[in-house]
Structure 1
């Protein structure tokens, strides 16, 4: 009874408003501090009091906030707008912002799902590789999955050997020559054929360009080339390519009278 006498009819305490509108008292206090929604009155005991009109304002704030508007936007722009056209323009801008966020979230979701696939295929936890995969996903590098096959030393070498532009250019050349060789395989051209041997030389020159002539890197590239467990179309293509290239390279080196693997531990 004492409380009812201290609260004038038509007014509500902050606790009552919070319960009725499904927010916390702290939220209402924050809105008051930010100048978004101040109490309409104060009781004799110093309690902040709200009216039904305040509830309407609070409802507007919560509704606009649910659409992604910031409290600053609501305070500075929305509540003070006078014409439907003004409101429509602000809503259009907000719609554009939300579309952009959706695109960003969709890209992040796709990256998470792709990274999860790669993580499950790796034998150990390696956050350095995870970071590399994420960066390559963000660059839209479709060959991000290759990272899991390289050790840290090889990845460090690739980072220093190539920048984004030169890396993409090298992969493009590698894929182009690979496609030409696979086409010979489909056409049943034998490895000793001059067409195959010409492309084999180009392929080997690319390997030498990649390693800068460092033959100690060959064992790692050979290990990478095995691709025992293929997980996508590109890896399956490389597996077929390697099966066709192995005898072609043996013939190529035999004709040159050299053994590039001599003295190299494989």
Structure 2
């Protein structure tokens, strides 16, 4: 398809009197190579740059659409959690920040669960949304994570978590940090039930999330060139007084040093997850 056809499709074929889109809604500048890509083309390519394979950040709706069998998706209602328990305020009230994030993303908080099937195999998927306050981990995220574990145990299905977070939510202080051991206990309940816990690390995953459920998977998968870190590169360099490798804190670096099991392109992820689930759950299904 020519660039002219792309333009015509994008703005309705130049129909006189018809609605048109502004130029900034037609194009997306790739953060990897700087190339301008049609938004429609990017969406059709699962938000992966067709020029450099840079994986853009996506949210729960896109994840569920790309991974789950058509017609099988059931998004779980968000669990109830205390809002603004510390009555926190910095330059804005925490309650106002939550309202803004909910209005911009359409989600109640930064972690969304859905049940469905991948190639006919039952799964429960939890997706962390970086667009919601940087995917930060607060009580609502902890509640949602536990909800996902409970749904997986009820369905006798693996729990697959997509992480994307800047870490703990500072507006909830120690209550946010308490979600780290809480999620660890929930994962143990999943193991006690004989069910797999699979983690897909996406860009970026860091902080308290990286120190908790992001690195506790039975199988650790990552998207290409994702930034994965507990703390920032400059902080480490200033602490150890050494220059770190250029690929430090990337998916590929983690794979090379044995911290994760595989790096999988987004277009191949659905099939790869189906294969992994088949290996991990095949004997149980046969029994």
Structure 1-normalised TM-score?
A: 0.27
Higher relative contact order, chain-length normalized (CA < 8 Å, sep 6+): 2
Higher helix share: 1
Structure 2-normalised TM-score?
A: 0.26
